[in-house]
Amino acid sequence: MSDSEAPSVSQNETETKEATGNACQNSPVENSSSPATETAVTTPAAETAAPAPETPAHVTEAEQLYQKLTSATESRCLLRKHLTQAIFDKVKNRKTSLGGTLAHCIRSGCENIDSGVGIYASDPEAYATFSELFDPIIKEYHKLPEKKALHHANCDFGDVNKSKLEDLDPEGKFIVSTRIRIGRSLDGFGFPPILTVQNRKDIEAKALEALNSFSEDLKGTYYPLSDMDEDTQSRLTEEHFLFNDSDRFLKAAGGYNDWPTARGIFYNESKTFLVWVNEEDHLRVISMQKGGDIGAVYKRLATAYKTLEEKLKFSRDDRVGFLTFCPTNLGTTLRASVHIKIPLLSATDKFKSLCEKLNLQARGIHGEHTDSQGGVYDISNKRRLGLTEYQAVHEMYNGIKEIIKQEKELAWRPSNLEEMFDHLTKAKSCKSLLKKYLTKDTFEKLKDKKTSHNATLGDCILSGVLNLDSGVGLYAADPESYTEFALLFDPVIKDYHKLKLNEPITHPASDFGDLENLGFADLDPEGSMIVSTRIRVGRSHKDFAFPPVLQSEDRIQMEQNSVEALNAFSGELKGTYYPLTGMSKETQDQLTKDHFLFNDSDRFLKAAGGYNDWPTGRGIFFNENKTFLVWVNEEDHLRLISMQKGGDVGAIYKRLVTAIKALEEKLMFARDDRLGYLTFCPSNLGTTLRASVHIKIPHLSARKDFKSVCEKLKLQARGIHGEHTASEGGVYDISNKRRLGLTEIEAVKEMVAGVQEIIRLEKESSTTKTRSCHVL
């Protein structure tokens, strides 16, 4: 570490002093009675100022990188968070005994501003030399107490012969493969940024000597990357054994310097044990096999490590355990993972929080930040630092056991109605309206009933039985279900729509009002608050069932009937129908970009049969202006949507009503005098109308009484990406709450009046500091 540089007089200061001295010597003699005669005065040459000490190159480099980092305001990496000016000034001059500098450590994070961590160690000593920077990053990444000193347990793989790690999936239904790896660094060598070609060759030679001492199951062959023939390269790539130089974060950190010199792959004959030499770390030791026998995989790894430990000395520190290039891999360096099929559990809202609770990390099978494919996830232990190898593997083992247990529970399918009812009644955590109202007496009265479409009680309750976290838990199998199973549907409908349980359900005749005299138009003519407005309704073909019992040929027939009616539109409603079956990728991408494309990802709908025969008979119709849209055979037979930017509710409502009336001339819709228009889900009965705005209300939404204000106004507020989502930037989706027991024009006017009051309260809130507001 170099001493701080001594201050020096600047060139400008020296020049000023010289000029001042010359001026004094050239001034006239005091009290002279006559002008001084100009004479040339010879002065000694000014002493040459000592040049400022030259800033070391490694400091200049660090300063340039730090400037790039601090300028990247969008960066969220841990490096930018913890490398303050004070810490930078404190450590920028330092060097490790191997020549590692701050620049070596931070280059990748400064050049890749989207890094998550952003820092690599130049060598093992860097963790101590630059500890003021590394320590807080290590603590935050590994979720360790900020004020507690770092400490890591001694290496302990436990007694592998007495291990109780059994096969997690003996039937082979869930786990595709199991893999455990550790990283090791040879003592006395730096990490990639400062390694020379000779260093790498020395590491390779030492490693190869140790690897060649393996016997029995571990015995294998080493394949150097240099001069590797094409056949071997193709075979290793196909087997996913070959590492490459494609990671830009590692590349910026120097991870691929001198590529592919002194790098290679060792693996045994059964291809269950693999060692990467000079990839990211000096050694990456991997044990793996198909299936879920984690005990066998762990024993193989521990046996190999003990053999290597007899031949090689590894870099280790009592504070942070085994030392590796990246600080995320410190401690045990152990990552135990499975590729596991969990399509049902992974689709639930609780999956992420469950993994966190179990100290597990879930990611796609192709690495961090990749998506799952077919419900297959890579799940591993999350903790590496502060526990032993044995503890880390057991934590993963117990976590995966729980994951499989919950996937099995979700995969359960009842064989009869009695099993459904029994499963529902035993679910103490279930709070759905289905569970609340499906009493034993009601069940006995309805269990043998069928509609003319052969729909049963089981068709209506299956989704709520399989998804115990449902809010409602009940779908109608066909329009007739609302009558045939009224003993169950009626109390659920009354509860959901906030109707009195002791009074009969009634719904008025359809009334869209006088379109030429609506009494409302643009709610936000200045365009300062409302981003967009949308009104939708659902409609069901009178003679067809709903998804649970609907047949493929029925969907196709409904699609044909619907498209024929849609193609009759004229004026601004005229548009094009795009069937999902056979849709080109170009069209699919455009409709996804426009947020027009619906999918088959809702598990509640899926369990109810909503995606049966997907994507047969389904499609999207929209007009040229993209202000009118119809979904065919999504959740309902038809979902009609009128929308546009801004707050002109009047124009949007007129467009929707015009379309409804045009369709009514061509199609017959299912309707009931008690319940209004009949739809798949009982939450959408009555008018089926939802009128909503995306509105910027950062001040009002921050008030503690925001929710109660919306309730008083009969409005529902939610995030812009749907129910149960959070707001973004104070923008909320606000809609009418009531659909049943009022007319269409009344529902829209209720929403209009509510949003007008919301706008007034937002303006009031932006100029006052009160924590609550008074609704007029």
Q: Name which residue leads in pLDDT, 769 or 591.
A: 591
What DSSP string runs through 602-664? -HHHHHTTTTTTTTTT-EEEEETTS-EEEEESSSSSEEEEEEEESSBHHHHHHHHHHHHHHHH
**What phi and psi, each to the nearest 5 degrees, are found at residue 314?**
-110, 150
pTM above 0.85, yes or no: no
Rounded distance between C-alpha atoms, residue 475 and residue 482, angstroms: 10
Question: How confident is the model over 484-508, as pLDDT tens digits?
Answer: 999 999 999 999 999 999 999 999 9
Q: Which of 430, 681, 710, 773 is catalytic?
A: 681
Beta bridge partners of 136: none
What would the pLDDT profile of 417-440 be if each residue is shown by its tens digit? 999 999 999 999 999 999 999 999
Annotated binding site: 177-181, 240, 284, 335-339, 363-368, 532-536, 595, 639, 690-694, 718-723
Q: Tens of pLDDT along 593-632?
A: 888 888 888 889 999 999 999 999 999 999 999 999 999 9
Indicate whether 297 pLDDT > 50: yes
pLDDT band, very low/low/confident/very high, at 6 (cuts 50, 70, 90): very low
Instruction: Give the Cβ contact number of residue 260 at 10 Å.
Output: 16
The pLDDT tens digits of the residues spanning 711-724 come to 999 999 988 766 55
The residue whose two tokens read 């000395």 is 313
139: three-class secondary structure by DSSP: helix
The domains located in the chain, with CATH, are 1-26+39-149 (1.10.135.10), 175-409 (3.30.590.10), 417-496 (1.10.135.10), 530-765 (3.30.590.10)
Task: State the binding site for ATP.
Answer: 177-181, 240, 284, 335-339, 363-368, 532-536, 595, 639, 690-694, 718-723
Instruction: Taking each helix axis as running N to C, give the angle between helix 294-311 and helix 389-411, from 0 to 180 degrees, rounded to the nearest 10.
Output: 160
DSSP-based three-state secondary structure for 357: helix
Q: Which of 326, 355, 710, 773 is catalytic?
A: 326
pLDDT band for position 20 (cuts 50, 70, 90): very low
* Among the ranges given (237-241, 608-612, 662-666, 737-741), the one the predictor scored with the smallest mean pLDDT: 237-241
Measured distance CA(304)–CA(297) in Å, rounded: 11
155 carries an active-site annotation: no
**CB 569, CB 622: distance < 8 Å:** no
Of 22-31, 317-326, 754-763, where does mean pLDDT reach its minimum?
Answer: 22-31
Contact 53, 5 (CB under 8 A): yes
| C-alpha span between 323 and 317 (Å, rounded) | 7
For 580, the 3-state DSSP assignment is coil
Q: Which segments of 229-385 does DSSP mark as H helices, in order?
A: 230-238, 248-252, 294-311, 351-357
- Distance from C-alpha of 399 to C-alpha of 381, rounded to nearest angstrom: 8
CB 632 within 8 A of CB 562: yes
Chain-centre distance for alpha carbon 326: 23
* 681 assigned to active site: yes
Helix/strand/coil percent split, the chain, to 5: 35, 15, 50
Contact 331, 384 (CB under 8 A): yes
CA distance 331 to 144: 12
Q: pLDDT by residue (tens digit) across 344-375?
A: 899 888 899 999 999 999 988 766 656 666 78
Q: Look up residue 175 and give its two tokens.
A: 């786990």
The answer to whether the beta carbons of residues 316 and 322 sit under 8 Å apart is yes
Q: Which residue's entry shows tokens 């007495």?
A: 162
Banded model confidence at residue 237, pLDDT cuts 50, 70, 90: confident
Q: What percent of the chain stands above pLDDT 90?
A: 79
pLDDT band at 558 (very low <50, low <70, confident <90, very high): very high
